[in-house]
Amino acid sequence: MLILTCSSKLQLLERVLRKGLPETMLVCGAVMHINRGNPAQHEVVVDSWPEFKAVLTRPQKEVVKDNRDYYANLHAAFYREEDACRTLLENKDAVDWDKAFQLQGLQDGLYQAVKVMAEARSVHMEPHFYQAMLNPDAATLCQNQLRSDPLHLGTLNPSHAALLNDTYEFGGNDRSLRYLRSLIEDFPNACLLDQKGQLVAWSLSDALGCLTHGYALPEFRGKGYMKTVMQALARKLHTKDFALYTRVRSENEISKQHLRGQGFHLLPWTKYVLFFHSKSHETAGAAFKFL
Protein backbone atom coordinates (compact mmCIF):
# COMPACT_ATOMS: atom_id res chain seq x y z
CA MET A 1 0.00 0.00 0.00
CA LEU A 2 0.99 3.59 -0.57
CA ILE A 3 -0.11 6.85 1.06
CA LEU A 4 -0.33 9.53 -1.62
CA THR A 5 1.14 12.79 -0.35
CA CYS A 6 2.43 14.33 -3.58
CA SER A 7 0.08 17.08 -4.77
CA SER A 8 0.61 16.21 -8.44
CA LYS A 9 -0.34 12.58 -7.80
CA LEU A 10 -3.43 13.64 -5.87
CA GLN A 11 -4.44 15.95 -8.70
CA LEU A 12 -3.97 13.10 -11.18
CA LEU A 13 -6.03 10.80 -8.97
CA GLU A 14 -8.83 13.36 -8.89
CA ARG A 15 -8.87 13.54 -12.68
CA VAL A 16 -9.02 9.76 -12.95
CA LEU A 17 -11.80 9.49 -10.38
CA ARG A 18 -13.81 12.22 -12.08
CA LYS A 19 -13.78 10.17 -15.26
CA GLY A 20 -15.32 7.31 -13.29
CA LEU A 21 -18.24 9.35 -11.92
CA PRO A 22 -20.78 8.66 -10.60
CA GLU A 23 -19.52 5.28 -9.34
CA THR A 24 -16.44 6.92 -7.80
CA MET A 25 -18.25 9.90 -6.29
CA LEU A 26 -17.60 9.13 -2.60
CA VAL A 27 -13.82 8.81 -2.84
CA CYS A 28 -13.73 11.50 -5.53
CA GLY A 29 -15.44 13.92 -3.14
CA ALA A 30 -12.93 13.12 -0.42
CA VAL A 31 -9.97 13.59 -2.77
CA MET A 32 -11.40 16.87 -4.05
CA HIS A 33 -11.60 18.20 -0.50
CA ILE A 34 -8.02 17.06 0.11
CA ASN A 35 -6.93 18.97 -2.99
CA ARG A 36 -8.84 22.08 -1.88
CA GLY A 37 -7.30 22.73 1.50
CA ASN A 38 -8.03 19.39 3.18
CA PRO A 39 -10.37 20.74 5.89
CA ALA A 40 -10.99 17.26 7.36
CA GLN A 41 -7.27 16.38 7.35
CA HIS A 42 -7.85 13.21 5.35
CA GLU A 43 -5.37 11.20 3.32
CA VAL A 44 -5.46 8.72 0.44
CA VAL A 45 -4.22 5.13 0.47
CA VAL A 46 -3.91 3.08 -2.72
CA ASP A 47 -2.84 -0.49 -3.30
CA SER A 48 -0.39 0.59 -6.03
CA TRP A 49 0.45 3.58 -8.20
CA PRO A 50 -0.22 4.77 -10.83
CA GLU A 51 -2.26 1.73 -11.89
CA PHE A 52 -4.27 1.46 -8.69
CA LYS A 53 -6.93 -1.20 -8.22
CA ALA A 54 -8.27 0.04 -4.88
CA VAL A 55 -8.36 3.42 -3.16
CA LEU A 56 -9.21 4.24 0.45
CA THR A 57 -9.65 7.66 2.01
CA ARG A 58 -9.33 8.07 5.77
CA PRO A 59 -8.40 10.62 8.46
CA GLN A 60 -4.75 11.21 9.16
CA LYS A 61 -3.80 9.21 12.25
CA GLU A 62 -3.36 12.20 14.55
CA VAL A 63 -6.89 13.45 13.81
CA VAL A 64 -8.91 10.77 15.64
CA LYS A 65 -8.09 11.13 19.32
CA ASP A 66 -11.02 9.09 20.65
CA ASN A 67 -10.72 5.39 19.79
CA ARG A 68 -14.49 4.99 20.10
CA ASP A 69 -15.44 7.84 17.78
CA TYR A 70 -16.72 6.34 14.54
CA TYR A 71 -18.11 9.72 13.44
CA ALA A 72 -14.66 11.31 13.13
CA ASN A 73 -13.00 8.12 11.87
CA LEU A 74 -14.61 8.19 8.42
CA HIS A 75 -13.28 5.95 5.64
CA ALA A 76 -14.48 5.62 2.05
CA ALA A 77 -13.42 2.99 -0.47
CA PHE A 78 -13.63 2.28 -4.18
CA TYR A 79 -12.14 -0.62 -6.09
CA ARG A 80 -11.54 -1.73 -9.63
CA GLU A 81 -10.65 -5.23 -8.44
CA GLU A 82 -12.42 -6.66 -5.41
CA ASP A 83 -9.45 -8.80 -4.32
CA ALA A 84 -7.19 -5.75 -4.22
CA CYS A 85 -9.70 -3.91 -2.05
CA ARG A 86 -10.02 -6.87 0.29
CA THR A 87 -6.24 -7.05 0.67
CA LEU A 88 -6.03 -3.32 1.35
CA LEU A 89 -8.75 -3.41 4.01
CA GLU A 90 -7.08 -6.39 5.68
CA ASN A 91 -3.82 -4.44 5.97
CA LYS A 92 -3.48 -3.17 9.54
CA ASP A 93 -1.57 -0.15 8.24
CA ALA A 94 -4.57 0.80 6.09
CA VAL A 95 -7.43 0.18 8.55
CA ASP A 96 -7.08 -0.02 12.31
CA TRP A 97 -9.77 -2.52 13.26
CA ASP A 98 -9.07 -1.95 16.96
CA LYS A 99 -10.60 1.52 16.70
CA ALA A 100 -14.22 2.36 16.02
CA PHE A 101 -14.59 3.56 12.45
CA GLN A 102 -17.08 4.25 9.72
CA LEU A 103 -16.78 2.97 6.16
CA GLN A 104 -18.81 4.18 3.20
CA GLY A 105 -18.98 2.86 -0.33
CA LEU A 106 -21.26 2.07 -3.26
CA GLN A 107 -20.10 -1.43 -4.17
CA ASP A 108 -21.77 -4.62 -3.02
CA GLY A 109 -18.44 -6.45 -2.91
CA LEU A 110 -17.13 -3.95 -0.36
CA TYR A 111 -20.01 -4.66 1.99
CA GLN A 112 -19.66 -8.42 1.67
CA ALA A 113 -15.90 -8.26 2.23
CA VAL A 114 -15.96 -6.15 5.39
CA LYS A 115 -18.85 -8.17 6.79
CA VAL A 116 -16.65 -11.27 6.69
CA MET A 117 -13.67 -9.36 8.10
CA ALA A 118 -15.71 -8.00 11.01
CA GLU A 119 -17.05 -11.44 11.89
CA ALA A 120 -13.55 -12.92 11.82
CA ARG A 121 -12.32 -10.23 14.22
CA SER A 122 -15.39 -10.32 16.50
CA VAL A 123 -15.97 -6.68 15.59
CA HIS A 124 -19.54 -5.43 15.69
CA MET A 125 -20.79 -4.01 12.37
CA GLU A 126 -23.89 -1.85 12.21
CA PRO A 127 -24.96 -1.51 8.55
CA HIS A 128 -27.20 1.19 7.11
CA PHE A 129 -28.45 1.00 3.55
CA TYR A 130 -29.46 3.95 1.39
CA GLN A 131 -30.32 4.67 -2.19
CA ALA A 132 -27.81 6.96 -3.85
CA MET A 133 -29.20 9.95 -5.75
CA LEU A 134 -27.36 12.26 -8.13
CA ASN A 135 -28.29 15.49 -9.85
CA PRO A 136 -26.62 15.19 -13.28
CA ASP A 137 -27.46 18.79 -14.19
CA ALA A 138 -26.47 20.77 -11.12
CA ALA A 139 -25.81 23.85 -13.25
CA THR A 140 -29.51 24.13 -14.11
CA LEU A 141 -30.51 23.80 -10.47
CA CYS A 142 -28.06 26.54 -9.55
CA GLN A 143 -29.59 28.91 -12.13
CA ASN A 144 -33.05 28.81 -10.52
CA GLN A 145 -34.19 31.98 -8.81
CA LEU A 146 -33.81 31.73 -5.04
CA ARG A 147 -36.87 32.89 -3.14
CA SER A 148 -36.86 32.88 0.64
CA ASP A 149 -39.27 35.66 1.72
CA PRO A 150 -40.18 36.24 4.51
CA LEU A 151 -37.17 34.23 5.63
CA HIS A 152 -33.56 34.87 4.74
CA LEU A 153 -30.74 32.62 3.60
CA GLY A 154 -27.77 32.13 5.86
CA THR A 155 -24.91 29.88 6.84
CA LEU A 156 -24.90 27.61 9.86
CA ASN A 157 -22.59 28.38 12.76
CA PRO A 158 -21.38 26.16 15.63
CA SER A 159 -24.10 27.46 17.97
CA HIS A 160 -26.64 25.65 15.77
CA ALA A 161 -25.04 22.25 16.38
CA ALA A 162 -27.22 21.38 19.38
CA LEU A 163 -30.46 21.70 17.39
CA LEU A 164 -28.95 19.74 14.53
CA ASN A 165 -27.88 17.03 16.96
CA ASP A 166 -31.44 16.70 18.25
CA THR A 167 -32.76 16.13 14.72
CA TYR A 168 -29.88 14.11 13.20
CA GLU A 169 -30.52 10.48 12.30
CA PHE A 170 -27.41 9.36 14.18
CA GLY A 171 -27.44 12.15 16.75
CA GLY A 172 -28.21 12.55 20.41
CA ASN A 173 -24.75 12.08 21.93
CA ASP A 174 -21.57 14.07 22.53
CA ARG A 175 -19.65 12.51 19.64
CA SER A 176 -22.39 13.28 17.13
CA LEU A 177 -22.53 16.85 18.46
CA ARG A 178 -18.79 17.23 17.92
CA TYR A 179 -19.12 15.71 14.44
CA LEU A 180 -21.92 18.05 13.37
CA ARG A 181 -19.97 21.02 14.67
CA SER A 182 -17.01 19.96 12.52
CA LEU A 183 -19.26 19.72 9.43
CA ILE A 184 -20.57 23.22 10.09
CA GLU A 185 -17.06 24.62 10.48
CA ASP A 186 -15.34 22.77 7.64
CA PHE A 187 -17.75 22.20 4.74
CA PRO A 188 -20.32 24.11 2.67
CA ASN A 189 -23.82 24.39 4.14
CA ALA A 190 -26.92 26.53 3.81
CA CYS A 191 -29.90 27.38 5.99
CA LEU A 192 -33.00 29.52 6.23
CA LEU A 193 -33.56 31.77 9.24
CA ASP A 194 -36.68 33.54 10.42
CA GLN A 195 -36.85 37.23 11.25
CA LYS A 196 -35.54 36.52 14.75
CA GLY A 197 -32.55 34.61 13.41
CA GLN A 198 -33.93 31.21 14.41
CA LEU A 199 -33.29 28.18 12.22
CA VAL A 200 -36.13 27.04 9.96
CA ALA A 201 -34.43 24.63 7.52
CA TRP A 202 -30.91 23.56 6.64
CA SER A 203 -28.67 21.19 4.73
CA LEU A 204 -25.03 20.24 5.26
CA SER A 205 -22.34 18.55 3.21
CA ASP A 206 -19.61 16.26 4.47
CA ALA A 207 -16.01 15.15 3.93
CA LEU A 208 -17.10 13.05 0.93
CA GLY A 209 -18.88 15.96 -0.74
CA CYS A 210 -22.26 14.36 0.01
CA LEU A 211 -25.35 16.34 0.95
CA THR A 212 -26.34 15.28 4.44
CA HIS A 213 -28.81 16.09 7.22
CA GLY A 214 -31.26 18.13 5.18
CA TYR A 215 -34.07 19.09 7.52
CA ALA A 216 -36.96 21.51 7.93
CA LEU A 217 -38.67 22.03 11.26
CA PRO A 218 -42.15 20.41 11.18
CA GLU A 219 -44.08 23.68 11.30
CA PHE A 220 -42.26 24.95 8.19
CA ARG A 221 -42.69 21.93 5.93
CA GLY A 222 -44.60 21.89 2.67
CA LYS A 223 -43.68 25.51 1.83
CA GLY A 224 -40.76 24.92 -0.54
CA TYR A 225 -38.14 26.00 1.98
CA MET A 226 -35.99 22.91 1.52
CA LYS A 227 -35.91 23.61 -2.22
CA THR A 228 -34.42 27.03 -1.52
CA VAL A 229 -31.85 25.59 0.90
CA MET A 230 -30.92 22.88 -1.61
CA GLN A 231 -30.41 25.42 -4.38
CA ALA A 232 -28.24 27.62 -2.17
CA LEU A 233 -26.01 24.71 -1.14
CA ALA A 234 -25.89 23.38 -4.70
CA ARG A 235 -24.47 26.70 -5.86
CA LYS A 236 -21.68 26.49 -3.30
CA LEU A 237 -20.74 22.93 -4.24
CA HIS A 238 -21.07 23.51 -7.99
CA THR A 239 -18.68 26.45 -7.74
CA LYS A 240 -16.10 24.02 -6.36
CA ASP A 241 -16.88 21.46 -9.14
CA PHE A 242 -18.32 18.83 -6.79
CA ALA A 243 -20.86 16.32 -8.00
CA LEU A 244 -24.25 17.01 -6.42
CA TYR A 245 -25.34 13.81 -4.72
CA THR A 246 -26.99 12.54 -1.58
CA ARG A 247 -28.46 9.44 0.05
CA VAL A 248 -32.01 8.55 1.05
CA ARG A 249 -33.66 5.65 2.82
CA SER A 250 -35.45 3.44 0.31
CA GLU A 251 -38.71 3.72 2.25
CA ASN A 252 -38.57 7.54 2.41
CA GLU A 253 -40.81 8.28 -0.55
CA ILE A 254 -41.42 11.90 0.48
CA SER A 255 -37.71 12.73 0.35
CA LYS A 256 -37.25 10.87 -2.93
CA GLN A 257 -40.15 12.77 -4.46
CA HIS A 258 -38.71 16.08 -3.25
CA LEU A 259 -35.27 15.25 -4.63
CA ARG A 260 -36.68 14.15 -7.98
CA GLY A 261 -38.39 17.51 -8.16
CA GLN A 262 -34.94 19.09 -7.80
CA GLY A 263 -33.55 17.06 -10.71
CA PHE A 264 -32.02 14.17 -8.76
CA HIS A 265 -32.02 10.68 -10.25
CA LEU A 266 -31.89 7.39 -8.39
CA LEU A 267 -28.63 5.56 -9.06
CA PRO A 268 -28.45 1.77 -9.41
CA TRP A 269 -26.24 1.39 -6.32
CA THR A 270 -26.76 1.03 -2.63
CA LYS A 271 -24.88 3.58 -0.54
CA TYR A 272 -23.45 1.60 2.35
CA VAL A 273 -22.84 3.41 5.64
CA LEU A 274 -21.17 0.90 7.96
CA PHE A 275 -20.20 1.48 11.59
CA PHE A 276 -17.65 -0.77 13.32
CA HIS A 277 -16.57 -1.13 16.91
CA SER A 278 -14.94 -3.86 18.94
CA LYS A 279 -16.65 -5.81 21.73
CA SER A 280 -14.32 -4.15 24.24
CA HIS A 281 -15.74 -0.77 23.23
CA GLU A 282 -19.25 -2.13 23.65
CA THR A 283 -18.59 -3.08 27.26
CA ALA A 284 -16.74 0.10 28.15
CA GLY A 285 -19.89 2.02 29.08
CA ALA A 286 -21.75 4.69 27.15
CA ALA A 287 -19.86 4.19 23.94
CA PHE A 288 -22.32 4.24 21.06
CA LYS A 289 -25.77 5.07 19.96
CA PHE A 290 -26.76 3.26 16.79
CA LEU A 291 -30.11 3.94 15.15
CATH number of the domain within which 208 lies: 3.40.630.30
Do both 30 and 141 map to the same domain?
Answer: no
Domain that holds residue 163: 135-268
Residue 291 domain flag? no
- pLDDT tens track, the chain, 291 positions: 999 999 999 999 999 999 999 999 999 999 999 999 999 999 999 999 999 999 999 999 999 999 999 999 999 999 999 999 999 999 999 999 999 999 999 999 999 999 999 999 999 999 999 999 999 887 776 666 566 668 899 999 999 999 999 999 999 999 999 999 999 999 999 999 999 999 999 999 999 999 999 999 999 988 888 989 998 999 999 999 999 999 999 999 999 999 998 899 999 999 999 999 986 655 443 444 433
- Helix H segments across the chain? 7-19, 25-35, 82-90, 108-121, 138-143, 161-167, 174-186, 225-239, 253-261, 279-282
What distance in Å separates the CA atoms of residue 158 and residue 156, rounded to the nearest whole number? 7
Do both 125 and 139 map to the same domain?
Answer: no
Q: Is the preceding omega at residue 22 within 30 degrees of 0, hence cis?
A: yes
Do both 84 and 155 map to the same domain?
Answer: no
Do both 32 and 106 map to the same domain?
Answer: yes
Do both 125 and 143 map to the same domain?
Answer: no
CA triplet 110, 113, 119: central angle to 5 degrees? Answer: 135
What distance in Å separates the CA atoms of residue 71 and residue 177, rounded to the nearest whole number? 10
- Write the burial class of residue 131 (CB in 10 Å: 0-12 exposed, 13-18 middle, 19+ buried): buried
Residue 69 domain flag? yes
Query: Which of the listed residues 100, 130, 160 is the one where a domain comes to its end?
Result: 130
- Number of folded domains in the chain? 2
CA-based diameter of the chain, in Å? 56
Do both 145 and 231 map to the same domain?
Answer: yes
